[in-house]
Amino acid sequence: MKVKITQRSVYHKFAEVEIEAPNNLECNDLHEWLTDNEDLYIDKIDDKIHKAEYEFGFGLEYTGMDEKDSESEWRFEVLTEGENYGGHL
């Protein structure tokens, strides 16, 4: 009798960078500004993700990372004191 044993293990990497954005941006305009200015962070985050170690699991334990049916997920969070918002890119 033949028996096939299989296993699926999911690993992920996580990286983050901080950049400066103009103080006068409204919440609704920040997403567009980040998209238009991705040159300020795209190479930095690519470098960090390539250097990051693989970790076991889906990576959903990070704040706001909750897209269970997506292979990749990007977010932004405002780090200015007194403001608390963010979203997916």
Closest CA to 25 of 89, 88, 80: 80
**Does residue 17 form part of some domain?**
yes
**Does residue 15 form part of some domain?**
yes
Mean pLDDT of 4-25: 90
**Does residue 34 form part of some domain?**
yes
Mean per-residue pLDDT of the chain? 86
CB 72 within 8 A of CB 40: no
21: domain range?
Answer: 11-88
Total number of domains constituting the chain: 1
**Does residue 6 form part of some domain?**
no
Residue 18: HSE in the Cβ half-sphere, 13 Å Cα cutoff:
3
What pLDDT, on a 0 to 100 scale, did the predictor assign at position 67? 64
**Does residue 81 form part of some domain?**
yes
**Does residue 20 form part of some domain?**
yes
pTM: 0.73
For residue 87, what are the β-bridge partners? Answer: 76
**Does residue 42 form part of some domain?**
yes
Mean pLDDT of 10-25: 91
